[in-house]
Structure 1
C-alpha cells in the first residue's frame, strides 16, 4: 500500500486520515488542497475502515481518541503492518495515550491546536518519511529526564500493572497463570530494580506512581493540576 519507492517525484504524496470528526477531515482537506506535494487520498473513522478502502496511500494521520475505543498502540501497529508510517494528530492531553503511540513507532505527535503552517509542514515532512519532532513526542519517548529506566521484563510489567492497579497478589497470580510465590518474587525484583534506579517503590502507592510514570498504567483522568 505504501508507494514511496514507485511514486514519480512530481506526484503528490497521498495520505489517509483516521479521524471520527468530519469537521477535522474537512479542515485538513482544505489546508492541503493547494499543497504542491501532499493531498488527502482517503479518510475513515477507524483504522479498519481506512485499510478496507485499499487506497494507494503513502502515509496515515491518526487521532488518538476514536469513538470505537481502540488502542493507539494497536492502531499504529496495524497501520504500519499495512505499510503506512503514521503521524499522530490529536487534541488529547493524556500523556499515557501519547506514550502508547510513541512506543508503537510513530513519526511524531502533533497537536490539533498547532498553527496551520506548522501542521502543513509537519504533514509534508512525515509524508516524506521524516520524523516530526515535537515537545509532546519527545516527552512521551524520554519522559522525565530524572526518571531512570529500570529494564523490566514483559512478564514483570504485566505483574506490576495488575498489582499496582489494585489487584492482590493471589488475584494477579490467577490472571497471569503464575503461582502466588512467583508473583511475590517478581514484586520483590521489581522493587529492587526501582530501588537501584533511585526511584522508591516499597509501598503499593509508590508502585502505582512508578507504573504511571513509565506508561504501564494510564494517568488518571481526574488528576488535579
Structure 2
C-alpha cells in the first residue's frame, strides 16, 4: 500500500521579518507608521527617535529606516543617509513632499527613494518592503527630484574640500578655517580656488561667498536655512 499520501507536507519557511527604524522629530508620523505596520507580519517597527544619533544608540540592527528630511538637530539628509549607510542600513525618505533640493541631497548620499507622508498605507508598506530588499523605491516624487537635478553627480568634493566649503560658507574666514583645520590661510585660499573651479566646470559658478553658501546647501553639505535667511557676503 502506498503510504505517501499520509506524509505531512514539507514546512514552508516564513518570510524574514524586516526590522524598520524611523527618524522623525514629530511623534504623530511615528504613531501613524506604528499603526500601519502593527498588522504587517513581515515588517516590525523596531526603533524610532528624533535624530539619527539617538536611533543608533538604541540599535544598529535595522534593515531600513524611514527618514524625515528636516530634523531639528540641523543635520543634513546627506549626513544622515551616509551615517546610516555606514551601518549597512538602507533608507527611504519619508516626507511631506517639500524641499526638492533636500531630496536631491539624500539622493547623492544613496537613499533608495522617497515616499510621501500622504501616501496610502499600501504604498508605504510596499516602499519599506522594496527598500528592505535593496530595491529602489520608484515614485513620481523621486523621479522629479532626480530629473530636476542635471548636475546630480557633477561636483565631487574630497572630505577636506567639503570641510573647507562648509566652514567658509558658514561665515568663516581664511584665517579661522585654517585654524580649525590646522593649515595656513594661503592653503585655505588654494582649496577655495579648487572648489570654485569645480563648480565652474559643472556650470554652477560661485562668484561670491553667498554663492558658495547656496551650493553647499544645494549639495547637502549644509542644512537649509530658516526663513530668516543667511547673512550677507
Cα gap change, 1:121/1:179 in structure 2, threshold over 3 Å: closer, same or farther? same
The root-mean-square deviation of aligned C-alpha atoms, in Å, is 3.6
Q: Is the 8 A contact 2:76 2:221 kept in 1?
A: no
Alpha-carbon distance between aligned partners in 2 of 1:179 and 1:29, rounded to the nearest angstrom:
52
Q: Please give the per-residue CA displacement for 1:169-199, whole angstroms capped at 9, x wherever unaligned.
A: 1111112211011111122222223233332
In the superposition, the TM-score normalised over structure 1's length comes to 0.72
**How far did 1:124 drift?**
2.2
Q: Which of 17, 21, 25 is equivalent to 2:30?
A: 25
- Which residue matches 1:60? 65
Alpha-carbon distance between aligned partners in 2 of 1:214 and 1:104, rounded to the nearest angstrom:
10
Alpha-carbon distance between aligned partners in 1 of 2:152 and 2:225, rounded to the nearest angstrom:
19
1:133-148 equivalent positions in 2, closer than 5 A: 133-138=138-143, 144-145=149-150
Cα gap change, 1:106/1:171 in structure 2, threshold over 3 Å: closer, same or farther? same
- Which residue matches 1:114? 119
Q: Please give the per-residue CA displacement for 1:74-121, whole angstroms capped at 9, x wherever unaligned.
A: 554554454432323234734565455444433222221223332122
- Which residue matches 1:126? 131
The answer as to 2:219 corresponding to 1:214 is: yes
Q: Which of 6, 9, 17 is equivalent to 1:13?
A: 17
Q: Please give the per-residue CA displacement for 1:43-69, whole angstroms capped at 9, x wherever unaligned.
A: 332556655666975433333455666
Report the number of matched residues: 216
Question: Please, which runs of 5 or more residues in structure 2 have no aligned partner?
Answer: 1-11
Alpha-carbon distance between aligned partners in 2 of 1:55 and 1:211, rounded to the nearest angstrom:
29
Q: Is the 8 A contact 1:25 1:43 kept in 2?
A: no
In the superposition, the TM-score normalised over structure 2's length comes to 0.70
- Which residue matches 1:5? none
